[in-house]
Amino acid sequence: MEITSKTYLSLLFNITDEVAIKKQQEEEARKKQQAEARNLLEAAKKNAATGTNGNAPAAKKESDPFEVNFDTNIYHLGEQLPITEYFSTEEIENGIATVSKEETKYQKITGEEVRKRLEKDYPDLVAAYTEMVYLKKKNIIIAVPKAKKKGLSNSESSFSTKKIPFSLLKDFISLSKQYSERFGVELHADIYVNVKTMEFFMDIPQQIVSRFLVQPVEEAYSIAERLMDIPFKKVMEIHSHHTMGATPSSIDDESERCPGILYAIVGRVDNFFPELTLRIFDPASERHIKINPCLIFESPFDDTVSINTDMVEVLEYV
C-alpha cells in the first residue's frame, strides 16, 4: 500500500480521516440501494408476467413466426426494401445453406440474419441494440431499436439538421416531475423522427421504474405494431434522475452505447430549472462525448421581446 503524507500522519497520530470514512459509508449505502433496486425490479417483472399479488397476468402479444417470402419487404427509415435485395431465391425458398464435410443443412431466415445483412448498408442496426420484428398482416420486417436499463450510481454529423422542439423536452420534464413528486422514481422516454415529414415525436414505452433504476420492458413486437405506419428513426433516449443530479451512472455508461443515438438525462427535477446532460457514444474512442443541448433542442427563449430596452447603455471595454 502506498503511504501518502496524509496516511502517514493518520498512522502517526492515530487521526481518523472522517471524510474518507463518510465517503466509504456513502459508497456502501449506494451499492446496497442499487442491489435492492435491482431485486425490486426483478420481482416486479416476475409479478407482471405471472400475475401474482392478486393481479391478472399482463396480456402478452405473441410475435408472428418469422416466415418470409418473395413479397416480404424490410421497412427501415421510411424505405421499403424488398427482401430479394438481400437474399437469393434459393435462400428464400429453402433457407440459408450451411455446408459441412458430411452434408449441407438449410436454416430458415431469421431476424438476426436479416439484421446482419442490412447492417452493411445501415450501420445503425447494431446487434445488441436492434430487434427485427416480422408483422405477418403486412408481410414486412421492421427494425426496432431496443432501450436498455438506466439507473443511478454514484458524432454530430449524424444529427438531424432540424432541431428537436423544446416542447418535447418540456413535456418529458413535466412527466418526470409528476412521477418524482408522487412516487420518487425515474422515467424513460424515446424520441423519434418521422423521416418523411421530419417531425419529431415522443413515445413512452412500457417500463418498470424505481428510485434508482428504470427498465423498458415492452416487447419489440408491440412497439413495431404501434409505430409500423410511421417511417420512424429513433434519435434519442431520455430518462430522469428525479431529485438527483444529471450525472451519468456506471449503469448508464454500460447501456448507452449505441452509435448514432443521443442520450439525455434530466436531473434535479425538483428545481425550477432542472439539470440536463446530453451525450453520444463514440465507438472509435470507446467513450461518451458531451454535447451542448443548444445544438440539439430548439431554444425556449424568444429572440424578440416587446420590452423597451432603450434605457440600457452598453459600454465598450477591453
Range of the domain at 119: 73-145
How large is the average pLDDT for residues 245-262? 90
- Model confidence over 1-52: pLDDT tens digits? 455 555 544 544 454 566 667 666 656 655 665 555 555 555 554 554 444 4
The span from the CA of 299 to the CA of 316, in Å, is 28
**Domain finish residue from 145, 180, 207:** 145
pLDDT exceeding 70 applies to what percent of the chain? Answer: 75
Look up the CATH number of the domain holding residue 193.
3.40.140.10
Does 253 map to a domain?
Answer: yes
Out of 94-103, 176-185, 201-210, 285-294, pick the least confident.
94-103
- Give the residue among 238, 237, 241 at the shortest CA–CA distance from 185: 241
- Give the residue among 136, 137, 230 at the shortest CA–CA distance from 190: 230
Does 314 map to a domain?
Answer: no
Q: How many domains does the chain have?
A: 2
Q: Helix, strand, or coil here: 6? A: helix
* Beta strand segments in 126-199, E: 130-135, 140-145, 150-151, 188-194
Asked if 83 and 68 count as a contact pair (C-beta separation under 8 A), the reply is yes
The span from the CA of 125 to the CA of 129, in Å, is 7
pTM reported for the whole predicted model: 0.70
**pLDDT at position 154 over 80:** no
Does 28 map to a domain?
Answer: no
Q: Helix, strand, or coil here: 109? A: coil
| Same domain (yes/no): 156, 216 | yes
**Domain finish residue from 126, 145, 164:** 145
| Same domain (yes/no): 289, 201 | yes
**Domain finish residue from 106, 130, 145:** 145
| Same domain (yes/no): 170, 288 | yes
| Same domain (yes/no): 156, 140 | no
Q: What is the pLDDT of residue 260?
A: 83
| Same domain (yes/no): 266, 218 | yes
Question: Residue by residue, what is the 3-state secondary structure of 258-318?
Answer: CCCCEEEEEECCCCCCCEEEEEEEECCCCEEEECCHHHCECCCCCCCCCCCCCCCCCCCCC
Q: What is the pLDDT of residue 9?
A: 44
Out of 3-7, 159-163, 186-190, 297-301, pick the least confident.
3-7
Out of 11-20, 48-57, 207-216, pick the least confident.
48-57
Q: What is the pLDDT of residue 203?
A: 96
Residue 223 CB-half CA count within 13 A: 27
Number of other residues whose CB lies within 10 A of the CB of residue 259: 15
Does 291 map to a domain?
Answer: yes
Does 317 map to a domain?
Answer: no
| Same domain (yes/no): 154, 289 | yes
Q: What is the pLDDT of residue 58?
A: 47
Phi and psi at 202, nearest 5°, equal -110, 145
Out of 15-29, 91-105, 264-278, pick the least confident.
15-29
| Same domain (yes/no): 166, 291 | yes
DSSP state of 147: P
Q: What is the pLDDT of residue 101?
A: 75
The residue behind cell 434605457 is: 311
